[in-house]
Amino acid sequence: MIVTADLHNHSCLSPCGSLENSPSNLCRRAREQGITMLGLTDHNSARNCPAFARSCAREGIIPIFGTETTTREELHVLSLFATVAEALDWGDWVYERLPDYRHDPEKFGDQVVVDEDENILDFEERYLIPAIDASLDEVSDETLRRGGLIIPAHIDRTTTSITSQLGFLPQYEYSALEITSLPAEIDTRGHTLICDSDAHFLDDLGTRTFQFDIPEAGASPFTALAAALSTGAVRLSIAM
């Protein structure tokens, strides 16, 4: 089975995400575009993952749950998990380390927690964008200890990337590296590369995807994803 994956996307919980980006709309658009594995990675929070799980089930999409965390170095890294429970537990760990800055929706947009039918459940009152009080090493270690995948985000961008903030790619046990364009013009040290939409608006979804194979029998989708990243058995697709 060939899987088309897009693992880095934002819902209406992220203040920089469109209010149209409800979990249900993301999943519906993914199905229309032939995406078969979709990730939800809001900034420093996993609170929309329950609605995302139910929306994926309704649309026949394989869900991947997690966050895009901003580390102490002010770089972005994806932490991805197989289940809602794991993602929510991870989100609690991140939230405990998030500065208690009150969110201003007039300046930055709403941070909306919804259900799978777009009913509003809550408005997140703590601003989700700032760096948490944990380093890249700490976030990576904690993600891997919990059985997750750790992927530095958009490493070829000039802001909030591991290369923009540190100036180099430290040697570490990354599950993969995310890029936004080809060829990658930095030294990736042989790590598997993936690309994702990082969609903040519905029209952005599916602009960057990658494919890998899941055996017809045996491994779970998340285990198959981890194996493909470990061996580099992925194929990238970036819309020009």
The mean predicted confidence, pLDDT, of the chain is 95
- Kind and range of the H or E run holding 3: strand 2-6
Contact 117, 107 (CB under 8 A): no
Domain topology for 2-238: TIM Barrel (3.20.20)
Q: What's the pLDDT band for 239 if we cut at 50, 70, 90?
A: confident
pLDDT tens digits, 64-121: 999 999 999 999 999 999 999 999 999 999 999 999 999 999 999 999 999 999 999 9
pLDDT tens digits, 11-41: 999 999 899 999 999 999 999 999 999 999 9
Whether the pLDDT of residue 218 is over 80: the answer is no
The reported pLDDT for the residue numbered 136 is 97
The reported pLDDT for the residue numbered 90 is 98
The reported pLDDT for the residue numbered 8 is 98
Q: Find all residues with CB under 8 Å of 83, minimum gap 6, and list them.
A: 65
Encode 16-77 in three state secondary structure. CCCCCCCHHHHHHHHHHCCCCEEEEEEECCCCCHHHHHHHHHHHCCEEEEEEEEECCCCCEE
Domain boundaries of the chain, sorted by first residue: 2-238
Q: For residue 106, how many other CB atoms are within 10 A of its CB? A: 7
Amino acid, single-letter form, for residue 142:
E
